[in-house]
Amino acid sequence: MTVSFIHLLPLLLSVAAAAFRHHTPATFNVLSYGALPNRITDSTKAFLGAWYDACGREGGGRVLVPQGTYMIDSVVFAGPCKGPIDFIIKGSLEASSNPKKFFVDHWIGFRYVDRLRVGGGGFLLGHGGAAWHHNDCATNSRCRPLPVTMRLDFVTNSIISDIRSINSKNSHFNLFACHNLNMSNIRISAPEDSPNTDGIHIGSSTKIKIRDSMISTGDDCISILSGSHDIEVTRVHCGPGHGFSIGSLGGSHFKEFVTGIVIRNSTLHGTQNGLRIKTWAPSMPSLASDIIFDDIIMVDVSNPIFIDQQYCPRPPCNLKAQSKVRIKNVTFRKVRGTSSSKVAVKIQCSKHVPCQGINLVNINLAYRGPEGQVESSCFNVQGKSIPKVKTS
């Protein structure tokens, strides 16, 4: 007996619809838990209520934040959950501008969650302008850090996308001990003089991908710290800010490492640094290796290529000390554009452990200042340039 596709089509559509209904997560709307989008009422308990029910539902759930502006205090959305969980922000979340609530670790936290998806096109309003003048970390080693806007700790197999973070009090996003996490279509903004407002801060994390995002802030656009491996950054626009940074490394009393980093197809505009690897001196023996910067456009960037093994952001600094962080197998490929500093390539490595395998491939940087052509400065380094770095 022959059965035509036309006769089977209604049955196939019915099966597909049933499968879709089966996999559509139950929605937990924060309004149903008492949240008020009036910018005044503290809606933290309502958000936690929606989270607890979504997280505890067999098969997972979906927290929905409708349009409107919701004021919430420091909060942790903790797992593990009983299935995949979505946190969809259609509106805006607003942090407190009360100084009594400034000195906490984070504003919004996700912890021990697997298969998390945060998105929706909403805004995170950090109110950093009310807090930045309290930041004295540049001169006080015992300073009390301000809160990170969104902290992701032990988050795995997850997606963060279509979120806008504005005027964070500290870093906008901080990833710690995360694995297999993708970030895309993230928009980050803060004034270029806002202190310690790193865009995306990554530590002790593996298999992280960041793509198709724009970061304008007062510190590193993306900083990759110890314990991080297999990090990929693609099509990210940075500026203003301090550029893309590996490190700093060697500042603790433990061995540190960063390996397997790729940053490519990205643009830096008006940043204080471009592509930077920074290590402390003196330091514990540590490692930064297998790092690729590929197809990068510079527009009026200071220090476009910078390996700094005498990193010391605040005194006292021992300029005679040598870093013990080994830097090897680093490639800068197709880096082109304009430098706002006469010395566009600085590779300043340690006498104790000279850099090895540093490759400059198709570098073309121009300096438009009054002092003439762009220059490079390299010492304690083993590597090659293919062809010779072009200057103009």
Active site residues: 219, 242
Q: Do 37 and 91 form a contact (C-beta atoms < 8 A)?
A: yes
Longest dimension (CA), the chain: 88
Rounded-to-5 percentages of helix, strand, coil across the chain: 10, 50, 40
SS3 248: strand
**What sign for the dihedral angle of Cα 186, 191, 197, 201?**
positive
Residue partners of 239: CB distance under 8 A and separation at least 6 = 215, 216, 221, 267, 268, 269, 270, 271, 299, 301
Q: Which of 223, 264, 378, 250 is nearest to 312 (CA)?
A: 250
Residues in the chain: 392
CA dihedral 261, 265, 269, 275 (to 10 degrees): 20
Integer Cα distance of 55 and 64 in angstroms: 13
User: How big is the chain by its Cα radius of gyration, in Å?
Assistant: 24
Measure CA of the first residue to CA of the last residue in the chain; give whole Å: 78
Integer Cα distance of 73 and 94 in angstroms: 9
Q: Do 236 and 206 form a contact (C-beta atoms < 8 A)?
A: no
